[in-house]
A and B are shown apart, each in its own frame.
Chain A
Amino acid sequence: MVQASPVRDSVTQWVDVCALSDIVPNTGVCAMVKEEQVAIFRVGNEAELYAISNYDPFSKAFVMSRGIVGDRNGIKKVAAPIYKQNFNLATGECLDDETVKIATYSVRVTGDRVEVGIN
Chain B
Amino acid sequence: MKAKKNLVVIGNGMVGHKFLELMVGKDGSDNWNLIAFCEEPRVAYDRVNLSSYFTGKTAGDLSLVEPGFYQENGIKIYIGDKAVAINREEKTVTSENGVEIPYDKIVLATGSYPFVPPIKGREAPGAFVYRTIEDLEDIGAWAKNCKVGTVIGGGLLGLEAANALQNMGLKTHVVEFAPRLMPVQVDDVGGNILREKIEELGVSVHVSKNTTEIVSENGKIVKMVFADGEELETDEIVFSAGIRPRDELARACGLEIGDRGGIVIDDYCQTSDPDIYAIGECALYQKRIYGLVAPGYHMAGVAADALNGLTSSTFAGADMSTKLKLLGVDVASFGDAFARTSNSKTISVVDSIQGTYKKLVLNQDGSRLLGGMLVGDASAYGTLLQLVQNDIALPPHPEDLLMPPREGKPAAIGVESLPDSAQICSCNNVSKGDIIAAIHENQLTDPVSVKKCTTAGTGCGGCMPLVTTILKSEMKKAGKEVNNHLCEHFSYSRQELYHLVRFHKIKTFDELIERFGQGMGCEICKPAVASMFASTWNEHIMDVPHAGLQDTNDYFLANIQKDGTYSVIPRVPGGEITPDKLIVLGEIAKDFGLYTKITGAQRIDMFGARVDQLPLIWQRLVDAGFESGHAYGKALRTVKSCVGSTWCRYGVQDSVGLAIELELRYRGIRSPHKLKSAVSGCSRECAEAQGKDFGIIASEKGWNLFLCGNGGMKPQHGVLLATDLDKETLIKYLDRFLIFYIRTADRLERTATWFNKLEGGIEYLKQVIIEDSLGICDELEAQMQHLVDTYNCEWKAAIENPEKLKRFRHFVNSDRPDETLSYVEERGQKRPATEEEKVLAGVSG
Contact = CB atoms under 8 A, between A and B. Distances in A.
Residues of B contacting A: mostly: loop
A63 B562 CA distance: 10
A111 interface: no
A31 B811 contact: yes
A67 B552 contact: yes
A22 B552 CA distance: 17
B526 A17 contact: no
Given A32-B816, A62-B564, A82-B560, A26 B519 contact: no
B523 A22 contact: no
B302 to A, nearest CB: 49
A70 B526 contact: yes
B560 A18 contact: no
A69 interface: yes
A60 B843 CA distance: 12
Given A30-B812, A31-B812, A62-B818, A24 B560 contact: no
Contacts, number: 102
B225 to A, nearest CB: 54
Contact of A82 (B527, B555, B562, B818): B562
B564 A32 contact: no
A84 B544 CA distance: 23
A6 interface: no
A88 B810 CA distance: 23
B639 to A, nearest CB: 29
Interface in A1-40: 16-18, 22-27, 29-32, 37, 40
Nearest to A116: B813
B551 A72 contact: no
Given A25-B544, A67-B552, A73-B488, A61 B563 contact: yes
Contact of B548 (A27, A55, A81): A27
Contacts of A16: 813
Residues of A contacting B: mostly: strand
B552 A81 contact: yes
A44 B514 CA distance: 13
Contacts of B549: 26, 68
A24 B564 contact: no
B390 interface: no
Interface residues of B, number: 36
A29 B556 CA distance: 13
B810 A72 contact: no
A70 B513 CA distance: 12
B547 interface: yes
A32 B817 CA distance: 11
A32 B810 CA distance: 9
B835 A71 contact: no
B521 interface: yes
B523 A79 contact: yes
B520 A70 contact: yes
B845 A60 contact: yes
B813 A18 contact: yes
A29 B807 CA distance: 8
Given A23-B812, A55-B845, A62-B845, A74 B519 contact: yes
Interface of A: 16-18, 22-27, 29-32, 37, 40, 43-45, 55-56, 59-63, 66-74, 76-77, 79, 81-82, 84, 86
27 contacts: A17-B812, A18-B813, A22-B806, A24-B807, A29-B812, A30-B810, A32-B814, A37-B818, A43-B520, A55-B845, A56-B564, A61-B564, A62-B818, A63-B560, A68-B527, A68-B549, A68-B551, A70-B523, A70-B526, A71-B520, A71-B521, A71-B522, A77-B522, A79-B522, A81-B551, A81-B560, A82-B564
